[in-house]
Structure 1
Amino acid sequence: MDYHYPLNELWSKQEIIDVVNFFTVIEKYYEQSAEDHEIMKAYKRFKEIVPSKSEEKTYFKEFEIASGFKVYPVIKKAKDE
């Protein structure tokens, strides 16, 4: 991993940890495998920190540009299963 996670400097230390955990779970999905419940638990916490859909899309896009991993299809698959 040679990139930075999209973060907000106004978040608390715990919120930063939780958002990094969410993006780590997405990476894990692509690189190994992640359980649907693990994905949805991390996403639920991410949504508590980033409730705005437009902000969510911005962070997802920044993550995709930095990592090459798309977030939305992973969330959609986990929700559908």
Structure 2
Amino acid sequence: MEYQYPIDHDWSTEEVVDVIHFFETIERAYEKGVKREQLLSVYRRFKEIVPGKAQEKKLCSEFEEVSGYSSYRTIKKGKESDLGAIIRMQP
């Protein structure tokens, strides 16, 4: 896909890479499926970088607007799934 990931220019290079990895994992959940543990692990790292709900919602909304992929629904499904599950989302 050809779009830019939402990032904050105040983040370090490592933080930008980790946030992009989070959004790429959301994409993979829609395109191929992703292990629940991997999804929740990258989400935990995302929350270390973006601890506030308002900023999280803003970034995830911007991502959904350009990609069509819902981070919220993907994480919700991951949290509700059993250990070892593969998370596959429907567009």
Which TM bucket (shorter chain)? Answer: over 0.9
Name the structure 2 match of 1:2: 2
Matches of 1:35 and 1:77 in 2, distance apart? 12
Q: What code does the residue aligned with 1:69 have?
A: Y
Matches of 1:77 and 1:61 in 2, distance apart? 17
Name the structure 1 match of 2:68: 68
- Higher-strand-fraction structure: 2
Matches of 1:39 and 1:57 in 2, distance apart? 17
TM-score normalised to structure 2 length: 0.87
User: What pairs up with 1:30-69 in 2 under 5 angstroms?
Assistant: 30-69=30-69
Structure 2 unmatched runs, 5+? 82-91
Structure 1 unmatched runs, 5+? none
TM-score normalised to structure 1 length: 0.98
- 1:80 Cα deviation after fit: 1.0
- Higher-helix-fraction structure: 1
